[in-house]
Structure 1
Amino acid sequence: MKVQTYPPKNSQIHAYLLFFFICNVQIGVGIFSFQRYIFHVSKHDAWISVLIACLCAHAVLWLIIRMLNKYESADIFGIQYDLFGKYIGTLFNCIYIIFYLLVSILIMRSYVLVIQVWMFPDMSSWLIVSLLAILIIYAGFGGVRVIIGMCLLGFVVILVTVIFCLVTLRYSIWTQLLPIMESNMKDILRGAFRMSFTLAGFEFIMLIYPYVRNKERAMYHSQFSLLTGNLIYLIIMILSVAYFSSSQLERSIWPTFNMLKILKFPFSERLEFIVISIWMLMVLTGILINAWAISRGFKRMWNWNQKLVLLTVILIASTVTVMMEGRKNIDKLGEWVGLGSSVLSFLYPFLLSLIALIVLKVRARKAGDRGGGAS
C-alpha cells in the first residue's frame, strides 16, 4: 500500500468546505440526549465539563493537522502503514474500520428508536431501515462531492435546530448555574470524558485531508468548524441546565426534544415532529461518512471496489440494526462506542501525532547526516 494518495482533481474540494464537513460529522443525533449523561456526573457544572472537553478537542485537532502537514498527501491508513509497518499498520486500520461500522449501526439504530418513540410507535424497524439504506446507497455512489453537498445542507438543519432551542431563553432560570464549581474536579473531569464521544468526529480530517486542494488553509477552517460545533454543544448544555430542574434533566431521555415542545406554530403544534423529520438528512450524512470511510479503507489497503464495499457495509449495518431490539442493547452499544471514541478520537490520535512528528524528525535528521557524509 502506498503511503501517499492523490485523488483525481474532479474529486478534490476546497479547504473552506471542511467547515461543513467537520460540523456534520461531529454533530449528530447525540445532540438530543447528551445533556442527561453529562449532568448525571457533573450536575449543574456540566457546562464546565463540556468546555474542558472542547478545549481538549482543539488541542488534539491541532496536533493531527500538524502531523498531516508533515506528509504531502496521506490519510490515517497510509500514516499507520508508514509508522507501524505492513502487519501492525493493517491491524490498526482494521480496528478503525470495525469502529466506523459500529458507529454506523449506533446512529441508524438510535434514529430508528427516536422515530418509533416520538412519531410512529407501530412502524416496523425494517421499513425505516430500508428507506435509510436506499437513500444512503444512492448518495454514497455519488462520491465525496455528494457527501460534502449533503454536509452543506445539513449545516442549515443544525442552525435551525439551535435557533429553535434559543426560545427557551425566556423561561430559563440562570441561578440554576450557580454556584460554579460546586462539583468536585473529579466529577467534572468524568463529565468531560463522557463528553468526548459526543464531540468525536473531527478526527475524520485524517481521511478527507488528501482531497483538500489548498491544504495550507486546512488548519484554519478545521479549527473554526470545531469551534462552531463546540459552541453549539456548550450553548445547548447551558440552556438545558438553566431550563430544566435537576430531577427533570436526569429523567429526560431526550432533553433537546423536550425543549422544542414549548414551540407552537399555527400550522403545527408538535415542532419536534418536523425537527425529527429534517434530521434524517443529518443521520444519512453521518452514516454515509462512516460507510465511506470503511470503503476507503478497503480501497487503500486491498484495492477493493469502493461501491461494492459501501453496499456491503450498508447491508450489514441494516441487518444488525433490525436484529437489535431493546433499549438496553442500544445503551450497551452506545457505551462501547463511547469508550472507543474516547480512545480512537482523542487519546490515540494524540499519541499517533506525537509518534509521527518524532519519527519524521528522526528520519529527516538521519537523511541529513547521510547527505552530509556523502558530500
Structure 2
Amino acid sequence: MQIEKKNLLTPNEVTFILIGIMFDVTASNLPNVVIANAKQDGWISVIIGAIYPLYVALLAIYVSGRFPKENILVLSRRYLGKTFGTISNFLFLLSFFSYFPPLISTLGIIIRTDAVPILTPLKIYVVLFFAGVYATSKGIKVLGRIGSITFWMGIAIIIPTISILKQGSFLNISPIFGTGIVNILKGSLDCVYDYSLMELIFLIYPFINDSSKIKASTLKAVGFTAIIYTWITFISIYYMGKDIIPKTIWSFFNVAEAVKVEIINNFRYVFVFFWIIIAIKSLTIFNYVCIFILDDIKKIKSKKIVYVVMATVVIMLAKTYYGDLLAMNEITKYTSPISTIYNLLYLTLITSLIWIKKGEAK
C-alpha cells in the first residue's frame, strides 16, 4: 500500500480523528439514553461502556504491529479470500453508512430548532453534505487538522459547564450504585452506539508517520472520549436529575443554557454554533470513509459522480425515514446494534486469523 509522505498523519492528528468519529452531536442526548436503565448511575455506565472502544483499540494495536502499512480491507481479502473478503469489506462500509442519515437528520433538526428555523430540511441537508464533501476532497491530512480544531472547540464549550457544579445537587446522583449492577451494565450497552466507529483506526493506521505511536494515539482517543462522555452525562444528571432529563430532547443543551459567561449574553448560541461545526466534522469523516472503502472495492474513476449519488441516497433516507426524532430512534435501535455486532465479529475474526497464522510468512 503506497502512501505519499505528504498524506501522513501525526500521532496527535490520528487521535483527534478517532475522537472526532466518536464524539458528535449525539453526545448531547447521551444522558437521556443511559438513564433509561441506569438512572442516576448513568455516568458509571458510560465509564463501563468505554470497554468497547478499548477492545477495538487493542485489536488495532495488535494488527498494526503485524502489518503497519496494510489496512483491514487488504487483510480481509488476504485472510478470507477475494470474494468473502470483498463482501465483508462492503458490509463494513454499510456499518459506517448506517450512521450517516441519522447524523445529518439530527444536525438538521438542531439547526432548524436553535439556529435558522426558516430553512427547509432539504436545503440544510444539501449544504451540510457538500460542505463535508468539500473538506473530504482535500485529503486525510486536512481531515486531521479539522479533527484537531473541532476537538479544541469541543473542549471550549465543555469546560464552562464546570460552573454548573454550583447549581446542581449531589442528591441527583445519589445513591451511587443505587440502581444495581445489572441496570448499570444495561446502561453501558445503551451507550455503545455513542462509542462506536472507533473501528476507523483499522483504516487509517497506515497513514501515521510513526507506527510506534499507534498504541498511544488509539488509547488516548479512547481515554479522552470516555472522559468527555462521562462528564457530559455526570453534569447533566447532577444538574437536572433522572426525573427531569427524560422530559428534554438534548439534555446537555439545557446544561449549556444554564452556563453564565460574563462576556457572552447567551452561551447556548455559542454552544449550538460550535456543535454544528463539530457535526460537520463528523459528516466529513463519514464521507471520507465511504469513498475510501468504495474506492478500495472498485477503483472510482469519477468521485464527483459518486458524491452526487451518495448525497442523493443519504438525503432521501434522512428526509424519508429519519425526519423526526421518534422515527429516527425507532430505526437506530435496530441498525446500531447490528452495525456494532458485525464490526465486532468482523474485526475479531480477522485479528484471530492473523494471530493463528502468525507463524507463517507474510
Residue 333 of structure 1 and its aligned partner are, at CA, apart by 3.0
- What amino acid maps onto 1:182 in structure 2? G
* Structure 2 spans left out of the alignment, 5+ residues: none
Following superposition, the deviation at residue 56 of structure 1 comes to: 3.8
C-alpha displacement of 1:80: 1.4
Segment drifting more, 237-246 vs 190-199: 237-246
Deviation of 1:137 after TM superposition, in Å, equals: 2.0
Contact between 1:36 and 1:250, CA under 8 Å: does it hold in 2?
A: yes
1:321 aligns with 2:318: yes
Match of 2:328 among 317, 320, 330: 330
Corresponding residue to 1:188 among 184, 188, 192:
184
Structure 2 match to 1:342: 340
Secondary structure at the residue paired with 1:181?
coil
Deviations 1:283-328 (A, max 9, x none): 1221121121111112112112473334432332123323343332
1:26 corresponding residue in structure 2: 22
* Counterparts in 2 of 1:155 and 1:273: CA distance versus 1, 3 Å: same
Change (3 A) 1:133 1:57: closer
| Superimposed CA distance per residue, residues 223-277 of structure 1 (whole angstroms, 9 cap, x where no aligned partner) | 1122011111111211122111221012221111000111245665432222222
Look up the match of 2:222: 226
Query: What is the distance in 1 between the residues matched to 2:185 and 2:99?
Result: 24
* TM-score, length basis structure 2: 0.92
Residues 105-158 of structure 1: CA distance to partner in whole angstroms, max 9, x if unpaired?
A: 111011001122233334210111122123112112111111111111111111
Flag the 1:351–1:129 CA change in 2: closer, same or farther, 3 A: same
Matched, 1:242 2:238: yes
Alignment of 1:247-286 (within 5 A): 247-265=243-261, 268-286=264-282
Q: 1:31 to 1:319 in 2, by over 3 A?
A: same
Q: Could you tell me which residue of structure 2 aligns to residue 124 of structure 1?
A: 120
Give, in angstroms, the shift of residue 356 of structure 1: 2.6
Pick closer, same or farther for the CA change 1:16–1:122 going to 2, 3 Å. Answer: closer
SS in 2 for 1:363: coil
**Could you tell which deviates more after superposition, 192-201 or 173-182?**
173-182
Shift of the alpha carbon at 1:169?
1.0
Secondary structure of 2:259's match?
Answer: coil
Aligned 8 A contact 2:57 2:219 in 1: yes
TM-score by length of 1: 0.89
Residue 360 of structure 2 is matched in structure 1 by 363
**Cα-Cα RMSD:** 2.1
Q: Which of 352, 355, 358 is the matching residue for 1:354?
A: 352
The share of aligned pairs that are identical, in percent, is 17
> By how many angstroms is 1:11 displaced?
1.3
CA shift for structure 1 position 344: 4.1
Rounded to whole Å, the distance in 2 between the matches of 1:351 and 1:252 is 41
Residue 346 of structure 1: CA displacement?
Answer: 4.3
**Residue in structure 2 matched with residue 133 of structure 1 by the alignment:** 129
- The 3-state SS of whatever aligns with 2:69 is coil
- Give the equivalent residue in structure 2 for 1:370: none
Among 42, 60, 69, the residue aligned to 1:73: 69
> Residue 349 of structure 1 aligns to which amino acid in structure 2?
L
Distance 1:138 1:329, change over 3 A: same
Structure 1 CA distance, aligned partners of 2:182 and 2:301? Answer: 48
Q: Which residue is equivalent to 1:373?
A: none
Could you say what secondary structure the match of 1:183 adopts? coil
CA contact (8 A) 1:32 1:256 kept: yes
Closer, same or farther in 2 for the Cα pair 1:72/1:268, shift >3 Å?
A: closer
Q: 1:247, 1:144 → 2: CA distance?
A: 43
- Superposition deviation, residue 164 in structure 1: 2.5
**Alpha-carbon distance in structure 1 between the residues aligned to 2:302 and 2:163:** 44
Partner amino acid for 1:334? T
Match of 1:171?
167
Q: Does the 8 A contact of 2:173 with 2:241 survive in 1? A: no
Aligned match of 1:83:
79
CA 1:226 to 1:285, structure 2 compared with 1: closer, same or farther past 3 Å?
same
Q: Aligned partners of 2:208 and 2:340: how far apart in 1? A: 26
Q: Does residue 112 in structure 1 map to residue 128 in structure 2?
A: no
Once residues 7 and 42 of structure 2 are traced to their aligned partners in structure 1, the CA distance between those partners, rounded to angstroms, is 41
> Is contact 1:97-1:294 (8 Å) kept?
yes
Rg (Cα) greater in structure? 1
Comparing 309-318 with 72-81, which one deviates more in the overlay?
A: 309-318
> CA–CA distance in 2 between the matches of 1:340 and 1:122?
36
Amino acid at match of 1:319: M
Structure 1 residues 166 and 346, CA, compared in 2 at 3 Å: closer, same or farther? farther
Which residue type is aligned with residue 54 of structure 1?
A: A
CA 1:89–1:161: 2 relative to 1, 3 Å: same
Distance 1:352 1:270 in 2: 50
User: Quick one: which amino acid aligns to residue 109 of structure 2?
Assistant: L
Task: Please tell me whether the aligned partners of residues 172 and 238 of structure 2 are also in contact (alpha carbons under 8 angstroms).
Answer: yes
